[in-house]
Structure 1
Amino acid sequence: MKKFSLLLVLLAAMLVIAACGSDDSSEGSGSGEGSSEEKTYKVGIDTTYPPFEFEEGGEYTGIDIDLINAISESQGFAIEFEPMDFGGIIPALQANQLDVAIAGMSITDERKKVVDFSDPYFDAGLSLVVSKDNTDITSLEDLEGKTVAVKSGTTGSKFAMDNESKYGYTVSQFEDSPSMFQEVSNGNADVLLEDYPVIAYAISESGLDLKTVGERLTGDQYGIAVLKGENADLLEKINTGLQELRDSGEYDEILNKYIAE
């Protein structure tokens, strides 16, 4: 009987010790979560692409820079910029030298084979550009009999040449953008074709007597990229942060800082 009573006492003591150990373990886990350090991600950028990414006064700036900074702040992670040539960014992701890429990168099926993209954050593409006082041209259908200025060797030039007979305009080629801009400002050409973010930034920064009109003619969209099949949690945070910026109006504030419609 005494042996049985002693056994009961020992069993009770073991249960108490086990319960205490369980509580200690739980408290330890909670403490560990609270003291976790902020994760830092390496972000690949191309600083030769204003207004999205460029260097000014020794600091990185632009739409992409402001967006990823705001997203990282709202989602509680740190970032470290890694500037490089655009062509090296995806290979750097594949080599695990980068965690994220934001570089005015168009979302394409080919790139989707090696990276996962965020939700689109910018609609790029070609735009029609006319003088500020022009009210006659708002679409390609208005170009019959008009003169269209383009820069040689660009996507705008190719688009204009491919559609010249369809819309009945005449193409005038220029070797540089300033000459093309001036041709429309002076009234020697009726309209020019240029990539939307490039011309919008030029209008904003240089005070050109021009404006964009109508819908964009091509539909490229930019996305933030991570290596395919990796960093799913990070990609979710990026999408969440991007949506929060849109909802709060900060997204529009960032775009308006660099681009004038």
Structure 2
Amino acid sequence: MLRIRVIGCLAAIGFALATQTMAEESLRVGITPTGIPFTFVDTATRQPTGAMVDLASAIAANVGMDVEFQVNAFPALIPALTTGKINLISASMFITDKRRQVIDFSTPVYAYGEAMFVAAGDAKNYSIEELAGEAVGAQIGSTYADALQGLGVFGQVKLYDSIADMMRDVVLGRIKAGFGDAPIIAYQLSKNPDLGVRLVDGYQPMKRGEVALAVAKENPLLLERVNASIAKLKENGELTRIFSRYGL
């Protein structure tokens, strides 16, 4: 009888601790400051903003959790997730088989391909084949970087921490062209047409990727709750409204 009572008490304590942890845990969301219009820091308010920021906030409200945004460089997002510094990634991150080996993805929330951009004064609309032997740029950690390197066409595929750095080198002539997320580049050029670069008309993306949120493999309960929230936001139309707010 005593043994049964002790086991019962331990089970009750364990349940109470688990419930308390679930109630107190905040949604620590990793974003990148260079993913306009998906994730960025508003220069006026210094607050995180963007479509994926709004989506993460909506998910947090839906599951009854507080939300805390942590700004990271894009290549640092997955390490931050796997080491427990954050428990959710909400950025313009594509689902890939390589990433699936270390993290779990939610159901997709958006899809798009890459764009090519060149110096504003360069009027030629290049194909990839016409850039044979040239130096081009791509963002570190992006799916485009691996794809471009795998083509074996270019003299060099230079990797950048940010699209802004890549644009600078295109303008300075250090690289012939840059490749990056089409909606991010289009949004930046619409807000600031004097960046000195332009999108290459008629460029066909190598492939389209699906954007999703990500959680650690050790956190299946959070993944389940995120997916349930996404389904609800799709059903009531809020997901579409969130992306439309940023021209997506």
TM normalised by structure 1 equals 0.58
Does the C-alpha gap of structure 1 residues 148 and 101 become closer, same or farther in structure 2, counting only changes over 3 Å?
same
SS for the counterpart of 2:96 is: coil
2:213 aligned partner: 224
SS for the counterpart of 1:42 is: strand
Q: How many residues align?
A: 189
Structure 1 residues 100-249: aligned runs within 5 Å: 100-126=88-114, 147-148=125-126, 152-154=136-138, 155=144, 158=148, 195-202=181-188, 204-206=190-192, 217-228=206-217, 230-249=218-237
1:42 aligned partner: 28
Question: Which sections of structure 2, spanning at least 5 residues, go unmatched?
Answer: 1-14, 118-123, 139-143, 154-164, 171-177
Given that residues 200 and 212 in structure 1 are in contact (C-alpha distance below 8 angstroms), is that contact kept between their aligned partners in structure 2? Answer: no
Share of identical aligned residues, percent? Answer: 31
SS for the counterpart of 1:199 is: helix
Write the letter of the residue equivalent to 1:61: T
Q: 1:125, 1:239 → 2: CA distance? A: 23
Write the letter of the residue equivalent to 1:126: E
1:23 aligned partner: none
1:256 aligned partner: 244
CA root-mean-square deviation: 3.9
Does the C-alpha gap of structure 1 residues 216 and 147 become closer, same or farther in structure 2, counting only changes over 3 Å?
closer
Deviation at 1:62, TM superposition (A): 0.6
TM normalised by structure 2 equals 0.61
Q: 1:245, 1:231 → 2: CA distance? A: 21
Q: 1:80, 1:193 → 2: CA distance? A: 31
Select the structure that is richer in helix. Answer: 1
Does the C-alpha gap of structure 1 residues 212 and 118 become closer, same or farther in structure 2, counting only changes over 3 Å?
farther
- CA deviations 1:208-250 (Å, max 9, x no partner) are 998988985512122211111x221211111111122222222
Write the letter of the residue equivalent to 1:94: T
Given that residues 26 and 67 in structure 2 are in contact (C-alpha distance below 8 angstroms), is that contact kept between their aligned partners in structure 1? Answer: yes
Does the C-alpha gap of structure 1 residues 43 and 61 become closer, same or farther in structure 2, counting only changes over 3 Å?
same
Deviation at 1:118, TM superposition (A): 0.4
Does the C-alpha gap of structure 1 residues 200 and 255 become closer, same or farther in structure 2, counting only changes over 3 Å?
farther
Q: 1:176, 1:116 → 2: CA distance? A: 30
Given that residues 26 and 66 in structure 2 are in contact (C-alpha distance below 8 angstroms), is that contact kept between their aligned partners in structure 1? Answer: yes
Given that residues 32 and 91 in structure 2 are in contact (C-alpha distance below 8 angstroms), is that contact kept between their aligned partners in structure 1? Answer: yes
1:184 aligned partner: none
Q: 1:233, 1:60 → 2: CA distance? A: 26
Does the C-alpha gap of structure 1 residues 211 and 121 become closer, same or farther in structure 2, counting only changes over 3 Å?
farther
Deviation at 1:204, TM superposition (A): 4.4
Q: 2:31, 2:213 → 1: CA distance? A: 11
Deviation at 1:199, TM superposition (A): 3.4
Deviation at 1:39, TM superposition (A): 3.6
Given that residues 95 and 209 in structure 2 are in contact (C-alpha distance below 8 angstroms), is that contact kept between their aligned partners in structure 1? Answer: yes
1:85 to 73, 78, 87: 73
SS for the counterpart of 2:100 is: helix
SS for the counterpart of 2:126 is: strand
Deviation at 1:206, TM superposition (A): 4.2
Does the C-alpha gap of structure 1 residues 244 and 47 become closer, same or farther in structure 2, counting only changes over 3 Å?
same
Question: Which sections of structure 1, spanning at least 5 residues, go unmatched?
Answer: 1-28, 130-145, 164-174, 181-191
Given that residues 127 and 213 in structure 1 are in contact (C-alpha distance below 8 angstroms), is that contact kept between their aligned partners in structure 2? Answer: no
SS for the counterpart of 2:85 is: coil
